[in-house]
Structure 1
């Protein structure tokens, strides 16, 4: 769950996401130089994971490339525009602008949502005064839907299959950023979690929601 302790300070908007996505640059570098990296397999904060008995639909074939414009997660009330983001000078994904906390950032140099691989979305959990776009992300459940409207007029529908909370010490870059199954179109949504650490001006954990493509809507029709 997002931190109940909500101190003021605009710096918290950045650090809650940045400490984890900083590892993206290191992870990409490690894959290029060694052919892959390994990390601890789970976080050590309570994680939702996949409850026993959850029935998930089959994966849909990956789609042609198109950029994301909007993301919707009906179960937690998210309906937000998507903006392109890059890596900053330290190898972290630039978060959405501070003055648009209800916007989701997409790592534009990576995978396009709906195509093969894992597309990366990041968003703030709160501001110094109120909840932000991904405030409820930690409450998402496997089996719930994520819909991404794309520039070609299609809507890629993803099904959540995993929700994990990783502490700094136990952050698993391979799980957060790498595909879970080869050949699938997947999605990762990342925000901060745990509690807010006043000493480091950052949250103590990150929420990582994993989803995979299970359908496509085009011209008002749904295809699965």
Structure 2
């Protein structure tokens, strides 16, 4: 191995490390800030705070499928919830936090476009609101999802990435652990994170107290 190749490899690792650190930083800010959803009344965000730590026994879950090449997501389906939502790419806002979909589009899901595409290796991140001031939003029932259930992502290449849920967590806003929420669970897998507000609505801070994080991994492909 030449010295030039060694320096190139080291530089690549450094860039990758810095990108990952910035990604976690931005998503941590989003995790702290996405709970600031306007709401007219107090009440639980999802009604299922006890989902914290709910994980499946891997013995009865299907084997992971080989990751796909990257392709932009267009729609996400959660069959049991009746969710069929368009997906749009989102970046970071002026504060460095992931910019969720606008409040006037409560049925739209945002994909963190600087991260992996759903179906590609790594943990792809999809975010959506739990409610608005007047009605439930796209991920209102997200915390009721259970391990073993299926999520489908329709992609621009015509393929449908089929994911199986393996973990559901409600992570408190205070002490939010971005790596636990967004980091890959197993190296080399194609994984998916669906994230919304959780816990209860705190009137004093006008924010929710937690985030719901559903983790899934690629188990099949259609199309």
User: Residue 90 of structure 1: CA displacement?
Assistant: 1.2
Q: TM-score w.r.t. structure 1 length?
A: 0.76
2:105 maps to which residue? Answer: 100
Hey, which bits of structure 1, 4+ residues long, moved more than 4 A?
51-54
**Residues 68 and 26 (structure 1 numbering): CA distance in 2 closer, same or farther, change over 3 Å?**
closer
Q: Superposition RMSD on alpha carbons, in Å?
A: 1.9
Residue 152 (str. 1) matches residue 157 (str. 2): yes
- Residue by residue over 1:40-76, the C-alpha shift from the partner in whole angstroms, topping out at 9 and shown as x without a partner, is xxxxx63151255872100000001100000000011
Alignment of 1:178-217 (within 5 A): 178-217=183-222
Task: Give unpaired runs (5+ residues) of structure 2.
Answer: 1-22, 30-48
Specify whether residues 77 and 198 from structure 1 end up closer, same or farther in structure 2 by C-alpha distance, changes over 3 A only.
Answer: same
Aligned to 1:81: 86
The 3-state SS of whatever aligns with 2:211 is strand
For the residue of structure 1 that corresponds to 2:107, the secondary structure is coil
Q: What whole-Å deviation, never above 9, does each CA across 1:128-159 have from its counterpart, x for those lacking one?
A: 11110000000000000000000000000000
Number of paired residues?
181
Q: Deviations over 1:104-137 (max 9, x none)?
A: 0000011111000000000000011111000000
Alignment partner of 1:49 out of 48, 51, 54: 54
In the alignment, is the contact (CA less than 8 A) between 2:27 and 2:97 conserved in 1? no
TM-score norm. by structure 2 comes to 0.77
Partner of 2:170: 165
Counterpart in the other structure of 1:123: 128
Matched, 1:25 2:40: no
Task: Select the structure of larger CA radius of gyration.
Answer: 2
List alignment gaps of at least 5 residues for structure 1: 1-21, 29-44, 219-224
